Chain A
Amino acid sequence: MDSTRETGGPATARIAGRGRHREPCAVRCYCATRYTEPVFTIDVDVLVTIPNGEELNPLRGIHEYCEKKGYHAEGATIRVGEWPVQFIPVFSALTQDALENAETVEFEGVPIRVVRAGYLAVIALSTGRSKDHQRILSLLESGNTSRSELCALAEHYGLAATWEKFAKRFLNE
């Protein structure tokens, strides 16, 4: 693939899958597109674990690694080929489990870890913007997750009331 036209997924897998930050995975819109129809997005979000959570700048290692490889910072993101990539340290039990339970898929021959549809939907539920609601509905429609799975996950992560409210508003048929 032309290096100037590389897509965010494989490129990100290459830079983030090394060094101290093992097992990163794509999340949010870029990742959701795997399951749903294409949805416009500006950047790629990548969940990472930070070995030493007490660092003042937890992403310093990733940024230094990227800089060495010629991927430069652009504000809060790193430009990788065509895509700004935002690395997001796991920030809750939900995102930690989403990362740990991510699956590995091939993206144009490059293995990349992606958050499973159920976790994506519950992360969207926790964020709660209107576009997150749309994402949950799209993921359900795709058949890659189900109401019962989302209900169980929501309950597990303390989002039962939020899920009930969502279901009442959007899923009452």
Chain B
Amino acid sequence: MSEIQTLLERQARWQKERAQLPWPEKIRMIERVRADFEKWIAAVRKGSPGNQDGSPAIPDSSKSNP
């Protein structure tokens, strides 16, 4: 089995195991990602150079996965 295959299988196992965590712990994980996401959004809105084709780096609507 290739090293990549082993790596992917380990990652899949880890992702499945995360489902067993207590709900508050999972929410805290999401909050950590959200905090970084919001910082990124704020930075982009402050002075984004946008993409090379001139379009904004992110869409106005930041809502995801409601």
Residues of A within 8 A of B (CB): 7-9, 28-30, 33-43, 45, 82, 86, 105, 107-108, 131, 138, 141-142
Residues of B within 8 A of A (CB): 15-16, 18-19, 21, 23-24, 26-31, 33-35, 37, 62-66
* Residue with the highest number of chain A CB atoms closer than 10 Å, among B16, B33, B62, B65: B65
Shortest C-beta distance, B32 to chain A (Å), equals: 10
Across chains A and B, the number of contacting residue pairs, with CB separation under 8 Å, is 68
| Known A37-B16, A37-B18, A38-B18; contact A107-B64, beta-carbon cutoff 8 A | no
Q: List, sorted by A's number, 10 A–B pairs whose CB atoms are closer than 8 Å.
A: A7-B27, A8-B27, A9-B23, A38-B27, A38-B30, A39-B30, A42-B34, A42-B62, A82-B31, A82-B35
Q: B66 contacts A33, CB within 8 Å?
A: no
Given A8-B27, A28-B66, A107-B27, 12 more pairs with CB closer than 8 A = A7-B31, A29-B65, A37-B18, A38-B27, A40-B64, A40-B65, A41-B64, A41-B65, A43-B63, A82-B35, A108-B24, A138-B19
